[in-house]
């Protein structure tokens, strides 16, 4: 009873008609009917064009789950209306989605309830003094660059799509370090600002690494900085350069480490429709200043032979346009998982050897249309003023000390899924064992761990 009167307060006449339904029905279709009453014209049902467009825009096939309906809010007020209504439907199952880039099934979509798709919250505004960019949570980074580049402004953002590790991260930290304010819809349906100096400071800190379940973020206010062109792009090499690549990474992490340099070093394996294999190495590199071929990246740019290079001076929009296509929705199944550990020159070749064993096992199966990639990545620097919930100890140097091995596995044939998932779990287990034996585990929230452990950068099969 209390429940209904709370709902009736301030509700629209249509919702008043719907209230008896609330106490009687717990199935997703009645929840969808209620949401479409409170948000007329903004709820998509199976078979409609907008339902299909939203459903097929998830990065991987496992993310496309077929919810009972998809709510398509276009403002924070719309989100507040949805959340406030759902809060009064205790059995409602719902999921929140911004870019839909997380490939883990059930993280940003639901097979049974309502998916709240925030893609229309994609506005980007710059404050009159240029110091803050306010970005809707449904925007992609390329939308942000298109507004900021003409102003010669930058924010710490993902290199492509919606990510949090950026070309500027080695010197300027995480994307979340540079969020000065979150606009958040709380479970009550209230819209609040959460930042380090207001009553929601705890929420602000928790959101920086906390992932979802804390509220629905509808806008990020990001600190900007002046920036023009910088050097970067892709450099590809044959597989035969593998050992030279590892040696270059060890040099890069050594005493002459340059915090303006950023690299993702990838070892690629692709199989053709007839199962024959092709291997190569790819370095995606950036230097945060307009310096061509800087010393900090020479260990990589000197490696020969090379297959192709797109390294040049360009702005963020140009780099996003080059790199984004690889991040768009694709018709493959995806596992994207990682292990983070303390870096030593000795551990790198040992991790690489485990990867090569895995690759050999897969190659023997002659499975067709696979793309498997091992990427070595740095962890962004820890800024002294940064307040977030990553669990890095104070005065630590994750950029120097930690290291991330990322495994991206793509395949097209659903009948391979269970075998690839088992093999991927063995791969991760073997690397975690290796890291544990070498006493190189990290205890920040970026570590991997057993199901139910802390949230990871990216994990397979874990529900959040």
Ligand X SMILES: Cc1cc2nc3c(=O)[nH]c(=O)nc-3n(C[C@H](O)[C@H](O)[C@H](O)COP(=O)(O)OP(=O)(O)OC[C@H]3O[C@@H](n4cnc5c(N)ncnc54)[C@H](O)[C@@H]3O)c2cc1C
| Chain positions contacting ligand X, by CB under 6 A | 59, 95-103, 107-108, 118, 137, 158, 162-165, 211-212, 216-217, 327, 336, 408, 458, 464
Q: How far is the CB of 366 from ligand X (least distance, A)?
A: 25
Q: Closest CB to ligand X belongs to which residue?
A: 99
**Dist. CA 419–CA 358, nearest whole Å:** 12
Which residue number, 211 or 365, has a Cβ lying nearer to ligand X?
Answer: 211
Sign of the dihedral defined by the CA atoms of residues 52, 53, 55, 60, in that order = positive
Half-sphere exposure (Cβ direction) of 240: Cα atoms closer than 13 Å: 5
Q: How far is the CB of 96 from ligand X (least distance, A)?
A: 4
Q: How far is the CB of 459 from ligand X (least distance, A)?
A: 10
Q: How far is CA 50 from CA 70, 75, 78, 184, in A?
A: 9, 17, 17, 25
**Dist. CA 199–CA 218, nearest whole Å:** 18
Q: How far is the CB of 401 from ligand X (least distance, A)?
A: 18
Q: How far is the CB of 12 from ligand X (least distance, A)?
A: 25
Q: How far is CA 460 from CA 44, 111, 267, 368, 387, in A?
A: 29, 18, 20, 22, 28
337 with 458: CB under 8 angstroms? yes
383: which 2 tokens? Answer: 């800024």
Which residue number, 427 or 458, has a Cβ lying nearer to ligand X?
Answer: 458
Contacts of 273 by beta carbon, 8 Å cutoff, 6+ apart = 368, 369
22 with 88: CB under 8 angstroms? yes
Which residue number, 122 or 212, has a Cβ lying nearer to ligand X?
Answer: 212
DSSP string, 306-371: -SEE--EEE-HHHHHHHHGGGGS--SSEEEEEEEEEE--TTHHHHHHHHHHHHHHHHHHHT-SSEE
Do the bridges between strand 261-271 and strand 277-287 make them parallel or antiparallel, or are there none, so unpaired? antiparallel
Which residue number, 427 or 446, has a Cβ lying nearer to ligand X?
Answer: 446
Q: How far is the CB of 358 from ligand X (least distance, A)?
A: 18
Q: Which of these, 260, 265, 434, lies nearest to 341 by C-alpha position?
A: 434
Q: How far is the CB of 1 from ligand X (least distance, A)?
A: 32
Q: How far is the CB of 437 from ligand X (least distance, A)?
A: 28
Which residue number, 89 or 96, has a Cβ lying nearer to ligand X?
Answer: 96
- Alpha-carbon torsion, ordered 168, 170, 174, 180, to 10 deg: -60
């Amino acid at each position: 009873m209390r429940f209904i009167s709370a709902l009736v307060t301030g509700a629209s006449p249509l919702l008043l008609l719907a209230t008896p339904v609330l106490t009687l029905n717990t199935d997703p279709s009645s929840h969808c009917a209620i949401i479409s009453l409170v948000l007329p014209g903004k709820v998509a049902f199976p078979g409609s064009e907008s339902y299909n467009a939203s459903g097929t825009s998830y990065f991987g096939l496992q993310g496309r789950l077929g919810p009972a309906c998809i709510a398509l809010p276009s403002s924070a007020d719309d989100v507040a209306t949805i959340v406030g209504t759902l809060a009064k439907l205790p059995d409602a199952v719902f999921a929140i989605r911004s870019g839909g880039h997380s490939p883990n099934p059930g993280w940003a979509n639901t097979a049974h309830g309502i998916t709240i798709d925030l893609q229309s919250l994609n506005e980007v505004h710059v404050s009159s003094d240029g110091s803050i960019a306010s970005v809707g949570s449904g925007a992609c980074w390329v939308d942000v660059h298109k507004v900021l580049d003409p102003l010669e402004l930058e924010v710490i953002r993902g290199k492509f799509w919606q990510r949090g590790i950026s070309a500027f991260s080695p010197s300027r930290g995480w994307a979340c370090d540079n969020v000065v304010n979150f606009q958040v819809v709380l479970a009550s349906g209230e819209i609040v600002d959460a930042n380090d100096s207001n009553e929601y400071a705890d929420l602000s800190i928790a959101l920086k690494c906390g992932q979802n379940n804390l509220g629905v973020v509808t806008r990020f206010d990001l600190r900007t900085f002046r920036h023009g062109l910088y050097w970067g792009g892709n450099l590809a090499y044959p597989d035969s350069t593998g050992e030279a690549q590892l040696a270059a990474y060890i040099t890069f992490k050594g005493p002459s480490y340059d915090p303006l340099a950023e690299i993702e070093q990838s070892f690629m394996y692709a199989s053709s429709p007839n199962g024959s294999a092709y291997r190569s190495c790819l370095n995606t590199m950036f230097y945060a200043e307009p310096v061509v071929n800087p010393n900090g990246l020479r260990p990589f740019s000197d490696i020969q032979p090379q297959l192709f290079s797109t390294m040049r001076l360009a702005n963020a929009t140009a780099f996003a346009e080059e790199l984004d296509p690889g991040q768009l929705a694709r018709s493959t199944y995806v596992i994207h998982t990682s292990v983070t550990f303390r870096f030593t020159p000795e551990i790198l070749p040992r991790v690489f050897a485990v990867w090569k064993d895995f690759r050999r096992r897969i190659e023997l199966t002659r499975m067709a249309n696979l793309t498997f990639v091992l990427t070595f990545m740095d962890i962004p620097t820890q800024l002294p003023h940064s307040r977030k919930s990553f669990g890095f100890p104070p005065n630590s140097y994750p950029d120097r000390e930690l290291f991330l091995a990322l495994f991206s596995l793509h395949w097209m044939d659903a009948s391979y899924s269970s075998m690839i998932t088992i093999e991927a779990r063995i791969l991760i287990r073997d690397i975690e064992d290796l890291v544990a034996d070498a006493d190189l585990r990290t205890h920040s929230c970026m570590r991997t761990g057993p199901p139910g452990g802390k949230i990871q950068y990216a994990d397979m099969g874990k529900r959040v």
